[in-house]
Amino acid sequence: NAGVTQTPKFRVLKTGQSMTLLCAQDMNHEYMYWYRQDPGMGLRLIHYSVGEGTTAKGEVPDGYNVSRLKKQNFLLGLESAAPSQTSVYFCASRSTLAGPQETQYFGPGTRLLVL
């Protein structure tokens, strides 16, 4: 049981390049989330999904797109990367059965550097 995994672990992009971050969970969770963590800011929610085929905006969605084609995967896309998107990105998932927010399980993070 791997839990929540993220690919890649680290990436360097040039301004204007595109990329996709992959999050996968093997816990059959309905809800999935993408956060970014910046110094002095804590974690901020980018987008989330309450089920396969559905997505919604979080606190800081601009410059990102997401897709949830399969229940176990949640993709985060950057169409045209900007230096302001340099950050550590965390994916999380939780079960609807649990109810409380504490059952958000986080992946290990993806460190992205945009030059």
Partner 1 sequence: DQQVKQNSPSLSVQEGRISILNCDYTNSMFDYFLWYKKYPAEGPTFLISISSIKDKNEDGRFTVFLNKSAKHLSLHIVPSQPGDSAVYFCAASANNNNDMRFGAGTRLTVKP
Output 5 or 17, the one with its CB closest to partner 1. 5
Query: Should residue 31 be labelled a site residue for partner 1 when binding is judged by CB under 8 A?
Result: yes
Q: Choose between 30 and 73: whose C-beta lies nearer to partner 1.
A: 30
**Residue 55 or 85: which CB sits closer to partner 1?**
55
What residues does 48 pair with on adjacent strands? 33, 56
Judged by phi (left if over 0) then psi (alpha if -120 to 50, else beta), residue 28 lies in left
Report the sign of the C-alpha dihedral through residues 58, 63, 69, 72, in that order.
negative
The CA-based diameter of the chain, rounded to the nearest angstrom, is 42
> Residue 93 burial by CB count (10 A; 0-12/13-18/19+): exposed, middle or buried?
buried
Piece of 14-22, 67-75, 77-85, 105-113 that binds partner 1 (CB under 8 A)? 105-113
Interface with partner 1 includes 26 (CB under 8 A)? no
- Which residues in the 63-92 window bind partner 1 by CB under 8 A? 90, 92
62 contributes a contact to partner 1 by CB under 8 A:
no
Residues that bind partner 1 (CB under 8 A): 4, 31, 33, 35, 40-45, 48, 50, 56, 58-59, 90, 92, 99-109
